[in-house]
Amino acid sequence: MIVSPSIASANPLHLREAVEQVHRGKYEDLHIDIEDGHFIPNITFGMKTVKEIRKITRLPFSFHLMVSRPRDYVEEIAELRPSIVFGHVESMDYPLDFIRYVRRFGVKCGLAFNPATPVEPYRYALKEADGALIMTSEPDGRGQQFLPAMLEKAEKVREIDLPGGLWADGGIDAGRLDDLSGAGFTHVVMGRAIFG
């Protein structure tokens, strides 16, 4: 599996040092969570900060848009050469339209799912997506506890050909990696476990 460090878990006063830590770890990707305070209660950082991070690293950025209006971010994100952009199905009326819109900028697009959201109604859209991201915890403000039931959700997705992979995000530490791999995940997002 590919481990993608989530920079949102780093100390915001020391982002340069966090990026240097990622380089030393020889990771292949830097995960950028954009949270708007509406879709979920938390706010991470805005595009100005992300653009400054881009200036100090050539690592590919994977974006996770935990926002109420994901389409509003796409054009600006596309300028930063992302490896993939995930938008949450809960914030979309028409997920295929979102996928096709992101692709117009030459960017891979994936769909993200909160723990309570079933994947079955979105299989038609996943067949056109590049990837899927399953939240393996809720943003509960208590350390985001890992939800083992999400392993079963992965089994319903892994049979779909997703060139950008099947991602797990939320409450993951090294002790979960074997289970996640066995369930078919190809990428894991780790924040506190890396920057904790």
- Residues marked active site are found at 33, 169
Closest by CA to 176, choosing from 132, 168, 99, is: 168
Rounded CA-CA distance 12/124 in Å is 39
DSSP state string for 67-122: SS-THHHHHHHHTT-EEEEEEEGGG-S-HHHHHHHHHTTT--EEEEE-TTS-SGGG
Question: Is the CB of residue 84 less than 8 Å from the CB of residue 131?
Answer: yes
Packing angle, helices 71-78 and 95-103, rounded to 10: 20
Would you say how long the chain is, in residues? 196
* DSSP label at residue 43: B
The residue among 1, 23, 22, 2 whose CA lies nearest residue 10 is: 22
